[in-house]
Amino acid sequence: MTKLILPAGEGAKLHSPGRRKALKTLAAGGVAAATMPLLGRYASAQSAAPIRIGFQKHATGIGAAYGRWYERATLAAVEKINGEGGINGRPVEIVTEDDGTDPKRGAEVLEKFANQSNCDVAYGTLFSHVVMGSAPRAAELKLPYFVVSEGHHVASGALNRWTLQPGITDVKSQIQAMAPFITDVLGKKVTMIFPDYAFGYDHRDNLAPAIEAAGGEVIEKIAIPPSETSYTKYFPRIPRETEVIYHVMIGPGVLTFVKELGEFFGPSRPEIFGFVDSIEATDLTSPGLEFLDGTYFWEGMPRYAQADDTEYSTAYRAAVGCDANGASLADPKDVATYAHMFGCWETLHIIKAGMEACDYKGIEDRQALIEAVEAMTDMPEGFDHPQGPKKFNGKTHQTFGQQYISKVEGGKLVKVHTASIEDTMYPDEVDYTTMSF
Amino acid sequence: MTARYYWGLHLGLIALLFAGHFVLPAYQHGNVARIMVLAVYAMGYNIAFGYTGLLSLGHAMFFGAGMYGMGLLSYHFDAGALPAMAAGIVAGVVLSLVVGLLALRTAGVSFMIVTLMFSQALAMTLVYFRDITRGDEGFVIPSATRRLWGMDLSDEAHRYLIAWALFSVVLIFTLWLVRHRWGRVFVALRENEERASLLGYDAFRTKLGALVISGTISALSGAAYALLFGYAGATFAGVQYSIFPLLWVLLGGAGTVLGPFVGALFMFYLIDLSSGVTDAYMLIAGVALVLLTLFLPHGLVGEVKRRLWRDLP
């Protein structure tokens, strides 16, 4: 469904008949317009026409849980941006379209943004196959495409100059940053359990070299088909000498996976480290997850409020409507995709910064916007970047940032380690700036 | 009515779509290009299902074979557009021949299940051999492949015209085929296989021929889709892409030449327009499909054929 999100406050009154009538009067009155409340707010802009951002939402399909929270984070960020005067004095509108978490529909949605909805940029995609299917069309349409995907596809050089990932780190850097903690604190002999498809392969391909570089060894890799409903038959493949189990299971089978893992090991288990993707949008107090107590998780951003939370983090939590447990304020059972959705908030602020840096006026400035974002480097922690500071690599179109490791204690995730940005860096694999537009 | 009328109707659609290149707004222009490529897939499916009565639930394997035959040659060997397309078509021919030789030993529900299983096996193979196929993430078709006779196929105008040419050729071929003796034998098998066999027609070979033609056209569509839209992914070999052509053909009218295009067009805009009204657009689409099935069981073009134009091919 197409949704137009207008700025809050006075801007929201634009659709009322009285306001419309007033605007007609304004059109006739010319310069008198600047005295009206709506336009007064954006009076510094040469045009008060909204900046339109096409949000490619996973509203249906396997990404729906993420899409719902990505939208909430998006709307919260837009409300903040508009509350601060918009972009270059212009309000921001979000145009939402469901991509069905499908690459074909994803490409169609980009066409709709560019050719029908008159969007300035497209943004917000998470699932990597949708990004891969959509990115070629973004380049053909010359539509800046800001993804919030975590996939390594951007930095690997598989995409194009019009596709960037400035607001969230990629899986390769996340895994690399986790390896020293795993080998130093948990153990050196690692068995990994991962889903037998793309997301799992990113872990499979990147974990072993990272663990070896940190002085450890991946002694077994157990791939589990995504359609699997029972996992016990895979566990005998876990070698006896395993010191750490590394898991990245996602999907509806996670609860069963954890329960069966607990039954298999009983009280004498090895250390367990997982990516929070395994339990993203899942209530940690759900029956069967007790076994996770004492295990560790990577988190892109801590779901539970921490004792040392910054004021930026606290403000962000309130803005996106989450309580101290990372669940909706309206429904404590509605747990957020907290480790990922900050990427939407930060990406929108980067779009704003880029547009302001290049004095973006309209679609003729799309190329200048890409160049402005490519020129960005340090992104200091703040209200625009509540997850932490970042370094953006304009050549690879990929951002790098802090990573967090939390331990499950009493049904909550407690942060125990923060990996530095430097821990996440790896050599460039592409230089998009040498590619033509 | 005479052949002149139905040739006029079909050529008229081709002319109308050509005119669309000059008058359609940008968004609709892109949509119609995509619909024409998908309609080719549906026309291929229609030869097996609509004319020969082979209800396959696995045609995505042919679409995927064409897509990956084209895409892998391009991705790994930097092949040009024509060799890559040829590889896609050859993949379709070989796969449909092999699948046909095995699956046509069954019929009815068994045939549906066997084709579904073959298709799922291909989809899982694409995911499993990720180092070669890039798995479910898929890959972007290199821009070097997307050039043909100096034309950049990522250009909107070139894409539309290539899609139109492809659609036109397959539409005319289908029209010719179903009016040809072979097409009539397909229909005879669909209507009464035993009687056709008793009349001396080799049912197995005829059905195999229909399936190979059907699979090859489906593969052609898959290869063209990847070439024109720049992406190949295992999603396109998944079960939903076996259901789509069945849906398009049923909606448009099974056993009619124009039905697959009308069905694909209707379904595309049903989703596109209803998604602009509500988040529950799949509900709207579902209700519309139920109503169509109840009140137009022969499909849109099928009803025209039944009520107004009985010898419409």
State the Cα–Cα distance between residues A414 and B157, nearest whole angstrom: 56
Amino acid residing at A209:
P
Across the interface, whether the CB atoms of A158 and B139 are under 8 A apart is answered yes
* Greater model confidence, B129 or B23: B23
A347 and A146 Cβ atoms separated by less than 8 Å: yes
Closest chain A residue by Cα to residue B276: A1
- In DSSP notation, A24-61 reads HHHHHHGGGGGGSHHHHHTTTSS--PPEEEEEEE--SS
- Whichever domain contains A231, its CATH number is 3.40.50.2300
Across the interface, whether the CB atoms of A129 and B137 are under 8 A apart is answered yes
Check pLDDT > 50 for residue A357: yes
Q: Does A389 lie in the same domain as A281? A: no
Residue B221, pLDDT score: 98
State the Cα–Cα distance between residues A128 and A148, nearest whole angstrom: 10
Q: Which of A139, A153, A198 sits opposite B136 (nearest CB)?
A: A198
Measured between beta carbons, the chain B residues lying within 8 angstroms of A60 are 282
Q: Which domain holds residue A350?
A: 9-169+341-401
From the number of C-beta atoms within 10 Å of its C-beta (0-12, 13-18, 19+), residue B259 rates as: buried
Residue A225, pLDDT score: 82
Domain count, chain B: 1
**Shortest CA gap B163–chain A (Å):** 16
Across the interface, whether the CB atoms of B137 and A198 are under 8 A apart is answered yes
Across the interface, whether the CB atoms of B272 and A108 are under 8 A apart is answered yes
Residue B31, pLDDT score: 95
Apex A31 CA angle, A28 and A37, nearest 5:
95
A261 and A295 Cβ atoms separated by less than 8 Å: no
Domain annotation covers residue A333? no
**Shortest CA gap B30–chain A (Å):** 7
For residue A322, list its beta bridge partners.
Answer: A328
Closest chain A residue by Cα to residue B278: A1
Domain annotation covers residue B293? yes
For residue B151, list its beta bridge partners.
Answer: B148
pLDDT tens, position by position, B78-132:
999 999 999 999 999 999 999 999 999 999 999 999 999 999 999 999 988 888 9
Q: Which of A112, A135, A140 sits opposite B154 (nearest CB)?
A: A140
**Shortest CA gap B4–chain A (Å):** 38
State the Cα–Cα distance between residues A408 and A312, nearest whole angstrom: 24
Domain annotation covers residue A279? yes
Positive or negative, the CA dihedral B27, A1, A100, A70 is: positive
pLDDT tens, position by position, A67-77:
999 999 999 99
**Shortest CA gap A141–chain B (Å):** 9
Mutate one of B38, B63, B133, B136 to test the A interface: name it (highest A CB count within 10 A).
B136
CA distances from A59 to A65, A129, B244, B247, B284 (A): 8, 15, 20, 23, 16
Domain annotation covers residue A238? yes
Domain annotation covers residue B186? yes
Check pLDDT > 80 for residue B267: yes
Measured between beta carbons, the chain A residues lying within 8 angstroms of B272 are 108, 112
Residue A15, pLDDT score: 38
* Greater model confidence, B265 or A13: B265
**Shortest CA gap B14–chain A (Å):** 23
Mutate one of B130, B132, B137 to test the A interface: name it (highest A CB count within 10 A).
B137
Closest chain A residue by Cα to residue B146: A136
Domain annotation covers residue B38? yes
Domain annotation covers residue B107? yes
Measured between beta carbons, the chain A residues lying within 8 angstroms of B138 are 103, 129, 132-133
Domain count, chain A: 2
Alpha helices by DSSP H, listed for A291-377, are 311-319, 338-357, 366-374
Domain annotation covers residue A242? yes
Closest chain B residue by Cα to residue A113: B27
For residue A392, list its beta bridge partners.
Answer: A399
Most distant CA pair in chain A, distance: 82
Q: Which domain holds residue B84?
A: 3-307
The band of B300, judged by pLDDT with boundaries at 50, 70 and 90, is: very high
Closest chain A residue by Cα to residue B154: A140
* Cα of A20 vs its chain's centroid, Å: 37
Amino acid residing at B137:
E
pLDDT tens, position by position, A197-231:
777 888 998 999 999 999 999 999 999 887 788 89
**Element counts in chain B: helices (H) and strands (E):** 14, 4
Q: Does A132 lie in the same domain as A187? A: no
Across the interface, whether the CB atoms of B27 and A115 are under 8 A apart is answered yes
Domain annotation covers residue B279? yes
Residue A209 main-chain phi, psi, to 5 deg: -60, -35
Q: Which of A1, A111, A151 sits opposite B275 (nearest CB)?
A: A1
pLDDT tens, position by position, B152-195:
998 999 999 999 999 999 999 999 999 999 999 999 999 999 99
pLDDT tens, position by position, B48-85:
999 999 999 999 999 999 999 999 999 999 999 999 99
Domain annotation covers residue A433? no
B281 and B275 Cβ atoms separated by less than 8 Å: yes
Across the interface, whether the CB atoms of B276 and A128 are under 8 A apart is answered no
Across the interface, whether the CB atoms of B27 and A111 are under 8 A apart is answered yes
- % of chain A exceeding 90 in pLDDT: 72
- Kindly compute the dihedral angle of the four CA atoms of residues A146, A149, A154, A159, in this order, to the nearest 10 degrees: -70
Check pLDDT > 70 for residue A428: yes
Across the interface, whether the CB atoms of A153 and B137 are under 8 A apart is answered yes
Q: Strands, DSSP E only, in chain B?
A: 139-140, 147-148, 151-152, 231-232
Residue A13, pLDDT score: 37
Residue A251, pLDDT score: 65
Residues in chain A: 437
A51 Cβ neighbours under 8 A, 6+ residues apart = A86, A87, A88, A90, A91, A92, A93, A120, A355, A360
Residue A36, pLDDT score: 43
State the Cα–Cα distance between residues B35 and B210, nearest whole angstrom: 23
Residue A259, pLDDT score: 84
Tokens of A253: 């089978």
pLDDT tens, position by position, A25-59:
434 444 444 334 444 444 444 568 999 999 999 99
Across the interface, whether the CB atoms of A151 and B137 are under 8 A apart is answered yes
pLDDT tens, position by position, B209-219:
999 999 999 99
Q: Which of A107, A153, A197 sits opposite B229 (nearest CB)?
A: A107
Please enumerate residues of A whose Cβ is less than 8 A from a Cβ of B: 1-2, 59-60, 97-98, 102-104, 107-108, 111-112, 114-116, 128-129, 132-133, 135-137, 139-140, 151, 153, 158-160, 196-198, 201
Domain annotation covers residue B58? yes
Pairing of strands A398-401, A403-409: unpaired
A-B interface: how many C-beta pairs under 8 angstroms? 90
State the Cα–Cα distance between residues A401 and A384, nearest whole angstrom: 14
Check pLDDT > 50 for residue A118: yes
Closest chain B residue by Cα to residue A108: B31
The three-class DSSP label of residue A339 is: helix
State the Cα–Cα distance between residues A58 and A93, nearest whole angstrom: 19
Residue A258, pLDDT score: 83
Across the interface, whether the CB atoms of B233 and A133 are under 8 A apart is answered yes
The three-class DSSP label of residue A190 is: strand
Domain annotation covers residue A93? yes
**Shortest CA gap A118–chain B (Å):** 10
**Shortest CA gap A117–chain B (Å):** 9
State the Cα–Cα distance between residues A303 and A324, nearest whole angstrom: 8
The region that residue B179 occupies, defined by phi over 0 for left and psi between -120 and 50 for alpha, beta otherwise, is: alpha
Across the interface, whether the CB atoms of A98 and B275 are under 8 A apart is answered yes
Q: Does A358 lie in the same domain as A225? A: no
Residue B204, pLDDT score: 96
**Shortest CA gap A198–chain B (Å):** 6
**What H or E segment, with its residue span, contains residue A406?**
strand A403-409
**Shortest CA gap B194–chain A (Å):** 41
B145-150, Cβ contacts within 8 angstroms, sequence gap of 24 or more: B145/B74, B145/B78, B145/B79, B145/B80, B145/B81, B145/B84, B145/B227, B146/B81, B146/B227, B146/B228, B146/B230, B147/B80, B147/B81, B148/B80, B148/B81, B148/B82
Q: Strands, DSSP E only, in B127-199?
A: 139-140, 147-148, 151-152
**Shortest CA gap B103–chain A (Å):** 25
Domain annotation covers residue B184? yes
pLDDT tens, position by position, A396-425:
999 999 999 999 998 899 999 999 999 999
Residue B228 main-chain phi, psi, to 5 deg: -80, -30
The rounded mean pLDDT for chain B is: 93
Residue B118, pLDDT score: 97
Residue B254, pLDDT score: 93
Domain annotation covers residue B221? yes
Q: Strands, DSSP E only, in A225-348?
A: 244-247, 271-275, 296-299
**Shortest CA gap A45–chain B (Å):** 29
Report the side by side order of strands in the sheet with A217-224: A217-224, A189-195, A244-247, A271-275, A296-299, A403-409, A412-419
The three-class DSSP label of residue A244 is: strand
Q: Does A212 lie in the same domain as A159? A: no
From the number of C-beta atoms within 10 Å of its C-beta (0-12, 13-18, 19+), residue A240 rates as: exposed
- Whichever domain contains B29, its CATH number is 1.10.3470
Closest chain B residue by Cα to residue A224: B128
Average pLDDT value for residue range B244-259 = 94
State the Cα–Cα distance between residues A365 and A47, nearest whole angstrom: 14
Measured between beta carbons, the chain B residues lying within 8 angstroms of A159 are 140
A132 Cβ neighbours under 8 A, 6+ residues apart = A103, A153, A158, A159, B137, B138, B139, B140, B231, B233
Closest chain B residue by Cα to residue A59: B279
Measured between beta carbons, the chain B residues lying within 8 angstroms of A129 are 136-138, 233-235
Measured between beta carbons, the chain B residues lying within 8 angstroms of A139 are 154
Check pLDDT > 90 for residue A344: yes
Q: Among A120-129, A135-144, A324-333, B303-312, where is mean pLDDT lowest?
A: B303-312
Residue B44, pLDDT score: 97
Residue B1, pLDDT score: 55
Q: Among B2-6, B184-188, B306-310, where is mean pLDDT lowest?
A: B2-6
Closest chain B residue by Cα to residue A64: B279
**Shortest CA gap A425–chain B (Å):** 24
Please enumerate residues of B whose Cβ is less than 8 A from a Cβ of A: 25-27, 29-31, 34, 127-128, 130, 134-141, 154-156, 229-231, 233-236, 272, 275-279, 281-282
- % of chain B exceeding 90 in pLDDT: 80
The rounded mean pLDDT for chain A is: 88
pLDDT tens, position by position, A367-391:
999 999 999 999 999 999 999 999 9
